Amino acid sequence: MATGQLFSRTTQALFYNYKQLPIQRMLDFDFLCGRELPSVAGIINPGAEGFQKLFFGQEEIAIPVHSTVEAACAAHPTADVFINFASFRSAAASSMAALKQPTVRVVAIIAEGVPESDTKQLIAYARANNKVVIGPATVGGIQAGAFKIGDTAGTIDNIVACKLYRPGSVGFVSKSGGMSNELYNTIARVTDGIYEGIAIGGDVFPGSTLSDHVLRFNNIPQVKMIVVLGELGGRDEYSLVEALKQGKVNKPVVAWVSGTCARLFKSEVQFGHAGAKSGGEMESAQAKNQALKNAGAAVPTSYEAFETAIKETFEKLVEEGKISSVKEFTPPQIPEDLNIAIKSGKVRAPTHIISTISDDRGEEPCYAGVPMSSIVEQGYGVGDVISLLWFKRSLPRYCTHFIEICIMLCADHGPCVSGAHNTIVTARAGKDLVSSLVSGLLTIGPRFGGAIDDAARYFKDAYDRGLTPYEFVESMKKKGIRVPGIGHRIKRGDNRDKRVELLQQFAHTHFPSVKYMEYAVQVETYTLSKANNLVLNVDGAIGSLFLDLLAGSGMFSKQEIDEIVGIGYLNGLFVLARSIGLIGHTFDQKRLKQPLYRHPWEDVLYTK
């Protein structure tokens, strides 16, 4: 066990099992105290590496993350404190790994419930190697104005109120972490404050004892008096009694053992800590308090009188000239986190993203205001979900059914079209699903599957301006633009695309108006008079019928229809549909275990 001071203003720690709030509180304390270096040198997250961004005052810093204790200790040889936030299941193993590192002097174990046999092994190893274990079941410890472990002393407001941003003259040790915060406040009210405070933890076998730390405090010149808060259960306080009787402690000790109320209960009482259970008269709070008093400690008659006893001891030391006044100063203001400032109404900040189609902040996600449960319970289909997420409204069933038909009809068009070909080649090259899918999707454009929007745009413009099919086609010809939605490499006037016929049949049956489709058919009649392959293709059929859907449903304004066509909604329908087929081709090639594709020489014209 160390015989003197554990921490200083240059102490740095390794933090095991990343927890954002405790680490940020340590860094905020550093800034409050005017430290030059952050007290957290590195973070250990098993299986992870990289950096974690945190704040050191107003500066954002990146703290290295290591995957093992050994790697962290090697990277940060001056970090000699190991703060272990692992669960009780793994705390012992990781703590032992840290104790075995030559650079680590102090290990703080926060977890409760660490098996007692494991704790005993840690204690034995630490004592044999002159190292310190604080905990298990501890909040940690603090050296005022220098260093603190994790959540010790609570919030910044509490730290400022307790004057922990600068050193005082009192060494304090307690079993309870929660009561430590109370005593920090009490001590700050009636003395010049804490120099160092330790919570040893409430387990039956603490890594270090009350007397261990009292003896350390006795060797620290800046500590002028010692305050001890014990509790019923166990016999730890008696080692302090023996130290006092043997004259090993020559500084005033003010002590209180809590749990005197246990005698009011007829049966044995287990308090909050595992070790807070009286196992006989010697382990009672009354017996311990009396033994401490007999050994020379100042012991009040009750916890309520504890503050007065501390105050009287401090004032006596001041009168004797053993304590000089501490120079007070105003600590710097810790910058407030933006989210906290926003919640308190102190600042307002612009958002970076606007979303109007979905919201996942409530109990369940909503699509355009419709809860997920309603979507399932009401039997919504894919078309209904598209209507909510794309058009931000629930379209009539014939509209959503039409959307679903379009998806089904456009899902695939065989392995020879450019998109499928690219996907097949990529999949056979051993690439993953996403890469194979994207390689096919990237071929979609004006020449492949991307003509739906253009077909809708040109058909709508021509119809709305009252152009005859002749005027429309000839004007496009003069501009050097092929009529989108017209023409097919295989289909002919006497061999129509079955997909186009199915879409037209559905529209005639269910749509209230098909004026744009009828106009497209008139255009087709004219173009067929020029060439037998200038038929209305599936792009033209979907484009014209979608105009009829938007206009005929009565749910969209003219401006909204123009915007939908301009943004690219209709091509989005083809992208969504064709993704199904491209994924299928990827799986097909992988299932067939097809080798790398190489294009045959005989299919290439080599020329100069």
Catalytic site residues? 273
Q: What is the DSSP letter of 192?
A: S
CA 244 from chain centre, in angstroms, equals 50
Residue type, 175: K
Q: What is the CA radius of gyration of the chain?
A: 39
Cβ atoms of 191 and 213 within 8 Å: the answer is: no
Q: What is the DSSP letter of 231?
A: E
Cβ-based burial of 344 (10 A; exposed 0-12, middle 13-18, buried ≥19): exposed
Cβ atoms of 16 and 94 within 8 Å: the answer is: yes
Residue type, 351: T
CA distance 578 to 440: 9
CA distance 492 to 528: 9
Cβ-based burial of 528 (10 A; exposed 0-12, middle 13-18, buried ≥19): middle
CA distance 397 to 394: 9
SS (H, E, C) 458-477: HHHHHHHCCCCHHHHHHHHH
CA distance 25 to 12: 14
Residue environment code for 312-343, b if the CB has 16+ CB neighbours within 10 A, otherwise e: ebbeebeeeeebeeeeeeebeebeeeeeeeee
CA distance 111 to 114: 7
> Of 592, 579, 574, which is closest to residue 537 (Cα–Cα)?
574
- Count other C-beta atoms under 10 Å from residue 347's C-beta: 11
> Of 532, 537, 550, which is closest to residue 484 (Cα–Cα)?
537
Which pair of tokens denotes residue 555? 């749910």
C-alpha separations of 444 from 229, 417, 439 in Å: 75, 11, 10
Cβ atoms of 454 and 484 within 8 Å: the answer is: yes
Cβ atoms of 290 and 259 within 8 Å: the answer is: no
SS3 59: strand
Q: What is the DSSP letter of 129?
A: T
Strands (E), 221-263: 225-231, 253-258
Token pair 């108006």 in the structure block, residue: 513
CA distance 334 to 156: 8
SS3 583: helix
> Of 192, 196, 198, 142, which is closest to residue 163 (Cα–Cα)?
192
Residue type, 537: N
